[in-house]
Amino acid sequence: MSYHKDFCWLQKKKLKNHPFNNFIIKNATSLHETLKKEVAYFFEISLVEESEASLILEVKEESSIHPEGYKITAENKQVRIISSSDKGLLYGVYHLIRLFQKTKFVEEEILSEPENQTRMINHWDNFDGSVERGYAGKSIFFEKNSFRRDDENNELYARLLASIGINSLTINNVNVHKEESYFITDKYLNEIAHLASIFRKYNIKLFLSINFASPIEIGNMKTADPLNEEVQEFWNKVTKDIYDVIPDFGGFVVKADSENRPGPFTYGRTHADGANMLGRALKKHDGIVFWRCFVYNNHQDWRDRTTDRARAAYDHFYELDGEFNDNVILQIKNGPMDFQVREAVSPLFGALKETNQVLEFQITQEYTGQQKHIFYLVPQWKEVLDFDTWMKGKGSTVQKVLKEYPAKQKNNGITAVVNVGRDENWTGHKLAQANLFGYGRLIWDPSLSSDSILEEWMNGTFELSSNGKEILKSMMLNSWDTYEKYTSPLGIGWMVEPGHHYGPNIDGYEYSMWGTYHFSDSKGLGVDRTVATGTGYTRQYHDEVFEQYEDVATCPEELLLFFHHLPYNYQLKSGKTIIQHIYDTHFEGYEEVERYQVKWKSLKNEVDETTYLNVKERIKEQLQSAREWRDQINTYYYRKAGIQDKKGRTIYS
């Protein structure tokens, strides 16, 4: 395995002063070879048979440790990693690597178990090699409707994911096009099986995004009705064929009845009918279905101010709670809209009691700067997981809900659209790697702070002085705030160029069919989602949350315009009016990016040249883009409200 790629946080050279001379593996089965290879490679020690080895990896089946968890202890110059399965040993090894990347010995007993059972990555890769919402080059898996078969790269990628705890993967876009529909057939199953065999070595199960209309598209049938017996038979056969070649195949991810994708609605059936049909076909093979809840009317009339896209997922799925089979898992985006810079948390979390769920994040920076803008996403995700749904009183955070409801679930967890591509640095630029790393670490252990995750990532990635670390941290940790400041204000969202979603276009979605409006007029802006005078979306939350959002006085200000339509002269807690807040934040955000330039320049001698120049280029583009955001937003509101900036700065008239 040659490390031709800039191998980010898994850099062997960063391992320091470890005390190991040799190692032993006890009772590992399928992952034995992987464990052996990884330990030997990273620590440059040999596998031995003696029980006095300095590093011991041991499966104790009778242990109460979670099969993917691990305990690390140090005693008598021996370090021991124990788990109830060899999966846990693998994650323990990566933990050890992280420890020695920060030159820290094993000082106390470490017990780590994953908080989420499903820890998944979704690729939106198309078979032609393009990546939907991809900003790091073309697909690592596909090119021109064929499999790239870059086994070396795929294995690098598998261990990258394993090192942060990922255990599930889809390789193809949820928008399943014609040729990709054949992935589940003989035509491509050998290729899929080959990929599965690579990821299997790192405890990652392969899933496929499938086309709900497959019975028609590839099965030569006239219907895809989930209650039709022939359709059911089609799926039974499909799953059998898959499991014949991939016995541990994960299952399906489905985008149905969403943004023009086919689904059960065509046949007057419910999402439960559709999902359960697939669930039944997979059940006998222990497979599962992820059924996406990103369902809304995408032919809305902008004139209609009563329909509210934010309501859609809840309105569609809440009433089906309890109707889904136990191997069907609803996949719910973190917010009710679509991965905006700032939006409320989906009210489905805390509402569904009898339904398996995974939460879906977006690591790829679609609305968040497309890997040209620095944006460390972990703080945003953390805020979502920590959000209190009040499902069972105070403290019913999203993470707790995911873990505890429904009672016997075993696959709840988190998934995310990934940000990697064929770029030499995987993610467009090095700093964007922190989002992939941080995603894995956070969903394994949501109690970790954004800061400590960042620190772990920096330890693995760079050789920074402590001053350098502080500088980079100061850029990354306020990057959400910075981006939010120069883009759309106070939770309103959607002021981007339609289609590609990069750069400002304030009215770009204002007269569209997408249900994405800000309703700015001469007096004010915002979407009234209250029960009292608006769309009633606030009522989808439990009382305590509802009351907070419903009342403009208690609504968190970062979401103020997400929930309320307010006049430009409305006074915020800062004492500023909304219009002055818009002006101020837009100037501040731009100025912060100017400081990024200075800060990054000061790190010139602390990072490799390729990374330095690459990030420098990105920040230059970010600054240019932030300038457009600042000026277009400020001018737009100045022209609309006719109110002067109190500080007399340049707003183009």
Q: Which is nearer to its own copies, 541 or 638 (CB)?
A: 638
**Residue 500 makes contact with its own copies by CB under 8 A:** no
Question: Which region, judged by CB under 8 A, interacts with its own copies, from 85-93, 147-155, 431-439, 500-508?
Answer: 500-508
Q: Is 74 exposed, middle or buried (0-12, 13-18, 19+ CB in 10 A)?
A: middle
CB distance 234 to 221 below 8 Å: yes
The span of 171-179, 217-225, 456-464, 499-507 binding its own copies (CB under 8 A) equals: 499-507
Mind giving me the DSSP string for 540-597?
Answer: GS-HHHHHHHHSTTTS-GGGHHHH--EETTPBPTTS-BHHHHHHHHHHHHHHHHHHHH
- Interacting residue with its own copies among 305, 469, 473, 620 (CB under 8 A): 305
- Range in contact with its own copies (rule: CB under 8 A) among 211-219, 424-432, 579-587, 630-638: 630-638
Catalytic residue check, 591: no
User: Which H or E run includes 79?
Assistant: strand 78-83
* Catalytic site residue from 366, 388, 528, 592: 366
CA distance 192 to 207: 10
Provide the mask over 514-553, with x wherever binding to its own copies is found by CB under 8 A and - wherever it is not: -----xxxxx------------------------------
From candidates 287, 491, 504, 534, binder to its own copies by CB under 8 A: 504
638 touching its own copies, by CB under 8 A = yes
**How near is the Cβ of 623 to its own copies at its closest, in Å?**
16
Nearer to its own copies, 102 or 523 (CB): 523
Is residue 203 close enough to count as binding its own copies by CB under 8 A? no
Is residue 82 at the binding interface for its own copies, with CB under 8 A as the rule? no
CA 338, distance to chain mean position in Å, is: 12
Which listed residue (506, 527, 566, 593) binds its own copies by CB under 8 A? 506
295: CB partners within 8 A, 6+ apart: 256, 257, 258, 271, 312, 313, 316, 317
CA-wise closest residue to 338 among 261, 406, 412, 258: 258
Catalytic residue from among 230, 248, 259, 507: 259
User: In this chain, which of 22, 78, 597, 632 binds its own copies, going by CB under 8 A?
Assistant: 632
What are the residues whose beta carbons fall under 8 Å from the beta carbon of 273, sequence distance 6 or more? 226, 227, 264
From 639, 644, 646, 649, residue interacting with its own copies (rule: CB under 8 A):
639
How far is it, in rounded angstroms, from Cα 102 to Cα 565?
Answer: 49
Q: Is 61 a catalytic residue?
A: no
Instruction: Count the neighbouring beta carbons within 10 Å of the beta carbon of residue 470.
Output: 11
If the CB atoms of residues 335 and 504 are measured against its own copies, the closer one turns out to be 504
Indicate whether 641 belongs to the interface with its own copies (CB under 8 A).
yes
Cα(235)–Cα(239) distance, rounded to whole angstroms? 6
State yes or no: is 68 an active-site residue.
no
Q: How is residue 507 written in tokens?
A: 């009215």
Helix or strand run (H / E) with residue 362: strand 356-362
Among 511, 595, 602, 621, binds its own copies (CB under 8 A): 511
Compare residues 348 and 506 and give the one whose CB is closer to its own copies: 506
653 binds its own copies (CB under 8 A): yes
Q: How far is the CB of 632 from its own copies (least distance, A)?
A: 5
Q: Are strands 356-362 and 142-143 parallel, antiparallel or unpaired?
A: unpaired
Least distance from its own copies to the Cβ atom of residue 261, Å: 25
Q: Are 607 and 542 in contact (CB under 8 A)?
A: no
- Provide the binding-site residues for its own copies, judged by CB under 8 A: 302-303, 305, 504-507, 511, 519-523, 628, 631-632, 635-636, 638-642, 652-653
